[in-house]
């Protein structure tokens, strides 16, 4: 790659070269330790005499900006601290400043959590155990996908690789009672892209959208970015309170199988009421089914999409919880009335998804490895869940109540009345003893407690972490 220097034939060439090299170094665009091109090569690239380049290098050496290393070449030296300081950035007034400020103000509490290193015993929600990832099976399918693509297999269309869409449709019909075929499946880059596509297609500035309260912050952020009017709808022990839905809502976002973050499952009566309401109002319901594959007790509940006979439910799922977030693979089961619009939005967003990963996942699912992997994960997470429930029923019982959740790999815990501590305070103290806790206040000001994800804490680690948290609470009381 050529060094970016522009020489004007009408100006003294040596002075131009020296000035531009000096500027590249002092501005930091040529970092300390960077190697400059050999004098002969740079002279050929710029159409200069080699002597001109050599003289510029000599001058930079005298100024202590570069150093010559015998047999290796010329390298940029580290600048003195005072000289390395860059001038303050100029404040630029942009015509879109108001729009930019609006995006800067969007709620992103999960981004703050993602930027923090994990504690030794970390109860972060929604994060699977990396050690459970099926490395050998995945590597084999990835290699097979690479060979197929190397033989000229076309990249995936906007809706996704056909074999993967077929595998997803088959799995959802079997495991979740979803009514769909491969034609209804749109593969996305994680569930978040599915939410983004749905929000962009369904609502605009001033349109009303209803979302569970407490609810999932990234979806709230997407709605705010669209300029939608957001109406929080309360959640009780039966899930979303359908009687509180705003009549003008065009969109309702809900997590019926495992409410985020409280964990309650929506009752059958509420599910029927929500679908009847959507039919009367012409609204679309986004069903976020983010971790219902992990069921630990009771009979499976019908998905909203499986109960829907009018085509009003968009069912969104992801492989981030069951396999790995880094795959960035999710999907939306699109109602017929939305399918073409969502495909257009998907094509405009990224043309097509990662073909290699889609091919590999399709093979992985077709061979039955996905269901086998899920069974292994459910058994492991069940053990961690039992340890967590035992800890809250025993050691932590004086201070916290663990809310019931029949599925998913997080539960919520609420402080009991009179406890002299709140979620943020306990989370800060727990960090000092290498335990990661996450306050419910990050999702709702009305709930003082903790989000307890158990995907990243081994069973024996749950016991140790619970003991450490109990010591903190004892000291505080």
C-alpha span between 198 and 334 (Å, rounded): 9
Assess contact for 346 and 188: CB atoms under 8 A.
yes
Domains of the chain as residue ranges with CATH: 13-84 (1.10.10.10), 133-367 (3.40.640.10), 373-476 (3.90.1150.10)
279: part of which helix (H) or strand (E)? Answer: helix 268-281
**pLDDT 10s per residue in the chain (477 long)?**
678 898 888 888 999 999 999 999 988 889 999 999 999 999 999 999 999 999 999 999 999 999 999 889 999 998 876 555 555 556 778 999 888 888 888 877 776 665 678 999 999 998 999 999 999 999 999 999 999 888 876 677 899 999 999 999 999 999 999 999 999 999 999 999 999 999 999 999 999 999 999 999 999 999 999 999 999 999 999 999 999 999 999 999 999 999 999 999 999 999 999 999 999 999 999 999 999 999 999 888 899 999 999 999 999 999 999 999 999 999 999 999 999 999 999 999 998 888 999 999 999 999 999 999 999 999 999 999 999 999 999 999 999 999 999 999 999 999 999 998 999 999 999 999 999 999 999 888 889 999 999 999 999 999 999 999 999 999 987
Whether cis (ω within 30° of 0) applies to the bond prior to 205 is no
C-alpha span between 218 and 206 (Å, rounded): 19
> For helices 459-476 and 369-393, what crossing angle results, to 10°?
30
C-alpha span between 66 and 83 (Å, rounded): 14
Tokens describing residue 469: 């948290």
Instruction: Give the rounded distance of the alpha carbon of 377 from its chain centre.
Output: 21
Tokens describing residue 470: 């109990």
Farthest-apart Cα atoms in the chain, separation: 86
C-alpha span between 290 and 322 (Å, rounded): 9
φ, ψ (nearest 5 deg) of residue 438: -135, 115
C-alpha span between 242 and 272 (Å, rounded): 10
C-alpha span between 436 and 433 (Å, rounded): 9
Which SS3 state, helix, strand or coil, does residue 324 take? coil
Instruction: Give the rounded distance of the alpha carbon of 111 from its chain centre.
Output: 8
């Amino acid at each position: 790659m050529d060094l970016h220097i522009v020489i004007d034939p009408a100006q003294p060439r040596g002075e131009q070269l020296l000035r531009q090299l000096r500027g590249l170094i002092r501005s930091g665009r040529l970092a300390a330790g960077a190697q400059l091109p050999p004098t002969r090569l740079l002279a050929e690239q710029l159409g200069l005499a080699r002597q001109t380049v050599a003289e510029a290098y000599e001058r930079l050496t005298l100024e202590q900006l570069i150093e010559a290393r015998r047999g290796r070449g010329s390298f940029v030296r580290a600048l003195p601290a005072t000289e390395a300081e860059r001038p303050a950035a100029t404040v630029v007034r942009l015509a879109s400043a108001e729009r930019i400020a609006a995006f800067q103000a969007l709620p992103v509490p999960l981004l703050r959590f993602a930027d923090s290193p994990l504690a030794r015993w970390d109860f972060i929600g929604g994060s699977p155990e990396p050690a459970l990832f099926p490395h050998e099976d995945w590597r084999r399918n990835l290699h097979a996908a690479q060979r197929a693509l190397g033989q000229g297999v076309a990249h995936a269309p906007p809706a996704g690789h056909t074999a993967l869409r077929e595998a997803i449709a088959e799995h959802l019909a079997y495991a979740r009672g979803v009514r769909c075929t491969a034609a209804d499946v749109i593969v996305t880059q994680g569930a978040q892209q599915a939410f983004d596509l749905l929000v962009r297609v369904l609502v605009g500035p001033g349109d009303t959208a209803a979302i569970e309260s407490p609810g999932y912050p990234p979806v709230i952020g997407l709605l705010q970015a669209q300029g939608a009017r957001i109406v929080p709808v309360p959640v009780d022990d039966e899930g979303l309170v359908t009687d509180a839905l705003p009549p003008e809502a065009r969109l309702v976002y809900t997590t019926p199988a495992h409410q985020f973050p409280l964990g309650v499952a929506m009752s059958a009566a509420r599910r029927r009421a929500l679908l009847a309401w959507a039919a009367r109002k012409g609204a679309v319901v986004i069903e976020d089914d983010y971790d219902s594959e992990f069921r630990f007790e009771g009979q499976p509940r019908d998905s909203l999409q499986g109960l829907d006979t009018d085509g009003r439910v968009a069912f969104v799922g992801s492989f981030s919880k069951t396999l790995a977030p880094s795959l960035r693979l999710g999907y939306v089961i699109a109602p017929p009335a939305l399918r073409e619009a969502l495909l257009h939005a998907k094509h405009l967003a990224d043309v097509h998804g990662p073909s290699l990963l889609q091919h590999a996942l399709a093979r992985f699912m077709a061979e039955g490895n996905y269901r086998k992997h899920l069974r292994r994960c459910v058994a492991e997470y069940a053990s961690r869940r039992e340890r967590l429930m035992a800890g809250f029923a025993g050691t932590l019982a004086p201070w916290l109540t663990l809310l019931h959740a029949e599925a998913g790999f997080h539960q919520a815990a609420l402080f009991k009345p009179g406890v002299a501590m709140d979620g943020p305070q306990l989370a800060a103290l727990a960090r000092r003893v290498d335990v990661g806790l996450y306050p419910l206040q990050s999702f709702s000001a009305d709930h003082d407690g903790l989000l307890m994800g158990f995907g990243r804490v081994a069973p024996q680690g749950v016991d140790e972490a619970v003991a450490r948290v109990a010591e903190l609470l004892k000291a505080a009381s």
